[in-house]
Amino acid sequence: KLLDIGVIGLGVMGKNLALNIADNHYRVAAFDLDNDKVNALLAQERQERLTGQPQRITGCHNLSEMLSNLTRPRILVLSVPAGEPVDGVCQSLIDAGIEADDIVIDTGNSLWTDTVAREAHYAGQFIFFSCAVSGGEMGARFGPSLMPSGDINAWEHIKPIWQAIAAKVDATTGLPIERQEPGNPVTEGEPCTTYIGPAGAGHYVKMVHNGIEYADMQLICEAYQLLSDTCGMSAIEVSAVFSRWNQGSLNSYLMEISAEVLAQVDPLTDKPLVEMILDKAGQKGTGLWTAVSSLQIGTPAPTIAEAVYARAMSTQKTQRQQLSQCLAGPSKAALIGSERTTFIEQLENALYCAKIACYAQGFQLMAMMATERGWQLDFAEIAKIWRAGCIIRAKFLQSISEAYQVAQTQGVELSNLLMAESFSTALSTKQLDWRSAVAQAVLSGVPVPCVGSALAYYDSYRCDTLPANLLQGQRDFFGAHSFERVDTPVGEKYHLNWSHKPRTLVKL
């Protein structure tokens, strides 16, 4: 009997996706260049299979065998590293006899422009479709958030499988339905997948998801440093604060795991593990791509960019060690008593406000790119499919989705999340705490690039007038770059002859 779907690349993500698909009663053909990985997958399926359940995964020795095992049009899921490996497998599929209506789905963290180019490049040979996947290995195994984009007919074809394997949200509470049992997938609830748009849209949205992920992680890390440095808290004490915050508006997967990481004891030294982990952060590029995209398109995403810089700064360990010996800072006095209690409360509110600003940046960036590319992105839906499965999953995403739904109902465009009443009200009530927390950080000499830049973002939007008038004056002075006036029609350009006396105004 022919199989339903092929999975190519059985690293941790591919293997778990294959098991997830099989759990949902689809028959899977699996292939990896490394035959040991095929065998490992088959062994895991055997081991996890519940009594009475049939084997649903078949190992393949090569791509021709896979193609001949699949129903048509064939659906092939690529789980290989982004970049050249994707094209390498595509070429091998062409060599193996893939056909024009077969569907190849790239699930890696590919650069969105590569996806656009690939769809065009492979047209006529097969349908190049993409589906960005979030949720790490456990997500892939028991329900990720899936961001498919490309040929709409291909989407209709794969939709039932995608809806089955995606994470699910309880429609009433808006919270994830967590069940991680092999052979017993979650079948109830709203699936965390929706068609995002034409080729590239899904990978762009996933890229911004990761940019937000970088910023959200860094915000939490800044709170950790602040609580350690200004309150003298131990890792386990910070963990307790984070666990408490996780019960309120800051509830999120990232907050939850941060509390867990901080509570972990190092098996070798019995010290908190976090104190034994070297403070040099890695990155694979998606946060950087988000920051670059925001710079290229001219939409401010400073908190995301600062999160990328914070990782870069963390890698400057040697220089930091040298400079920490010679650069002056304020003297350290830990906050105590009611001052400390107040500061912790302020910091919780500061983090919430910064989080709103950071998500506002990500969503605004997606909106700008959508306009530029002619994509019809449904932000209420995008926020919905991020409520479970993905790394930034949080109660908060429900509020974002509702904000976009309210705007849709009212027929208004929500060009920035800061405008949504639910968020602007929260920001108004909490902004003083946000300022106090940033002020305390500055006075204590603790770097808060993300909490601080988010506040500057908020304050910039509050300013009806920014000092860019002076900036335009400077540009016109040294480079005759011209300026517009506040009292003449938009687009009308002027230049002052700065080097002549008397200085005369010229309309260009």
Name the 3-class secondary structure at 33: coil
- CB closer to ligand 6PG out of 59 and 449: 449
Q: Verify binding: residue 163, ligand 6PG, rule CB under 6 A.
A: no
Q: Verify binding: residue 284, ligand 6PG, rule CB under 6 A.
A: yes
CA 99-102-107 angle, 5° bins = 130
160 contacts: CB under 8 Å, gap ≥ 6: none
Q: Which ranges constitute the DSSP H helices of 100-196?
A: 112-122, 136-142, 152-165
CA 278-283-287 angle, 5° bins = 135
For residue 265, how many other CB atoms are within 10 A of its CB? Answer: 14
- CB closer to ligand 6PG out of 281 and 426: 281
- Is the omega angle on the peptide bond into residue 144 within 30 degrees of 0, that is, cis? no
Query: What phi and psi, each to the nearest 5 degrees, are found at residue 105?
Result: -115, 115
432 contacts: CB under 8 Å, gap ≥ 6: none
Q: Verify binding: residue 115, ligand 6PG, rule CB under 6 A.
A: no
In this chain, which of 52, 282, 411, 502 binds ligand 6PG, going by CB under 6 A? 282
* Least distance from ligand 6PG to the Cβ atom of residue 286, Å: 5
- CB closer to ligand 6PG out of 138 and 506: 138
Name the 3-class secondary structure at 250: coil
* Least distance from ligand 6PG to the Cβ atom of residue 288, Å: 8
* Least distance from ligand 6PG to the Cβ atom of residue 466, Å: 32
In this chain, which of 60, 207, 390, 418 binds ligand 6PG, going by CB under 6 A? 390
165-190 per-residue burial string, b: 16 or more CB within 10 A, e: under 16: bbbbbbeeebbbbeeeebeebbeebb
Which class for 102: exposed (0-12), middle (13-18), buried (19 or more C-beta within 10 A)? Answer: buried
- Note if 48 is an active site residue: no
In this chain, which of 210, 258, 364, 444 binds ligand 6PG, going by CB under 6 A? 210
Q: Verify binding: residue 213, ligand 6PG, rule CB under 6 A.
A: yes
Exactly one of 168, 206, 355, 430 is catalytic; name it: 206
* Least distance from ligand 6PG to the Cβ atom of residue 240, Å: 26
In this chain, which of 135, 182, 272, 302 binds ligand 6PG, going by CB under 6 A? 135
In this chain, which of 286, 290, 303, 399 binds ligand 6PG, going by CB under 6 A? 286
Stretch touching ligand 6PG by CB under 6 A, among 73-81, 120-128, 129-137, 254-262: 129-137
Q: Which ranges constitute the DSSP H helices of 8-49?
A: 12-23, 35-48
Q: Verify binding: residue 391, ligand 6PG, rule CB under 6 A.
A: yes
459 contacts: CB under 8 Å, gap ≥ 6: none
Number of residues that bind ligand 6PG (CB under 6 A): 13
| Residue 131 to residue 286: CA distance in whole angstroms | 15
- Note if 156 is an active site residue: no
Q: Verify binding: residue 267, ligand 6PG, rule CB under 6 A.
A: no
Stretch touching ligand 6PG by CB under 6 A, among 160-168, 284-292, 318-326, 328-336: 284-292
Q: Are 332 and 444 in contact (CB under 8 A)?
A: yes
Q: Verify binding: residue 283, ligand 6PG, rule CB under 6 A.
A: yes
Hey, what amino acid is at 241?
A: V
Q: Verify binding: residue 102, ligand 6PG, rule CB under 6 A.
A: no
- Residue ranges binding ligand 6PG (CB under 6 A): 109, 134-136, 210, 213, 282-284, 286-287, 390-391
What amino acid positions are annotated as catalytic residues? 206, 213
